[in-house]
């Protein structure tokens, strides 16, 4: 069961998302809010596995708070929702630590499947902006931590070794590696190393 919280300042949007989620036996809706302040409370109190977060809220931009929100619940996935998607915003969201960037108009029909993929370690981006996003610099799409992990992968370190060096668990390293592979469009560490060296990512 995936624990999901919704933070959006539009009641109609929250209702639509709630209806989509409550129809699935894979999802447990554990909290809602309408501001970044609410998001912090929901993350602390409800402990969601996934936080659906509106890009623009009355008290700020989601992109600027993703890292802080994830620090409140390590391992939580943040999915940024927006009405009008751009590659630049998607780029910033992923660089900030988001696991997904989805359009509100498209999300309802595919939301449960997208969340299942995200919890499994994939990064999900709305098709409308995916092609544009692919044209942006891959290195800047990777978060600072992902670049640190990638550099150690290139050196041939194992997950436990990377964990010891960076002071994180091997499980967290696995999550970072999965996201790195997804963002670079490769399937294993050898390919990731090749791409990283070829593109000068480390």
pLDDT in tens, 160-190: 999 999 999 999 999 999 989 988 888 899 9
Q: Where does the pLDDT of residue 23 fall: very low under 50, low under 70, confident under 90, or very high at 90 and above?
A: confident
Phi, psi dihedrals of residue 75, rounded to the nearest 5°: 95, -15
Q: How confident is the model at residue 134 (pLDDT cuts 50, 70, 90)?
A: low
Q: Quick one: which of 106, 97, 64 has its CA closest to 79? A: 97
Report whether pLDDT(157) > 80: yes
Q: Which residue has the tokens 């990512």?
A: 201
Strand order in the sheet with 2-7: 27-33, 2-7, 50-54, 77-82, 100-103, 124-125
Q: Looking at the structure, give the CATH architecture of the domain made up of residues 138-199.
A: Orthogonal Bundle (1.10)
Q: Which residue has the higher pLDDT, 157 or 184?
A: 157
| Nearest-angstrom CA–CA distance, 112 and 24 | 7
pLDDT tens digits for range 49-97: 999 999 999 998 888 899 899 999 999 999 999 988 787 788 888 878 8
Q: How many Cβ atoms sit within 10 Å of the Cβ of residue 162? A: 23
CA distance 143 to 180: 9
Portions of the chain given CATH number 1.10.10.10: 138-199
| pLDDT reading at 137 higher than 60 | no
CATH 3.40.50.2300 domain range(s) in the chain: 2-134
CA distance 109 to 101: 15
At the topology level, CATH places domain 2-134 in: Rossmann fold (3.40.50)
Decide: 62 and 36 in contact? Cβ < 8 Å. Answer: yes
Angle at 79 between CA 76 and CA 82, to 5 degrees: 160
């Amino acid at each position: 069961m995936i624990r999901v919280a919704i933070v959006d300042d539009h009641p109609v949007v929250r209702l639509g998302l709630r209806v989509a989620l409550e129809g699935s036996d894979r999802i447990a809706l554990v909290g809602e809010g309408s501001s970044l302040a609410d998001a912090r409370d929901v993350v602390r109190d409800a402990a969601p596995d996934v936080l659906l977060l509106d890009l623009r809220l009355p008290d700020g931009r989601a992109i600027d708070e993703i890292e802080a929100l994830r620090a409140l619940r390590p391992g939580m996935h943040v999915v940024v929702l927006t009405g009008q998607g751009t590659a630049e915003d998607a780029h910033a969201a992923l660089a900030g630590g988001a696991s997904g960037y989805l359009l509100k108009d498209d999300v309802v029909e595919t939301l449960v499947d997208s969340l299942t993929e995200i919890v499994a370690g994939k990064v999900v981006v709305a098709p409308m902006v995916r092609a544009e996003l692919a044209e942006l610099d891959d290195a800047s799409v990777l978060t600072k931590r992902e670049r640190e992990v990638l550099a150690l992968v290139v050196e041939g370190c194992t997950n436990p070794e990377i964990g010891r060096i960076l002071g994180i668990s091997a499980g967290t390293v696995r999550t970072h590696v999965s996201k790195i592979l997804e963002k670079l469009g490769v399937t294993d560490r050898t390919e990731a190393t090749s791409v990283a060296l070829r593109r000068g990512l480390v």
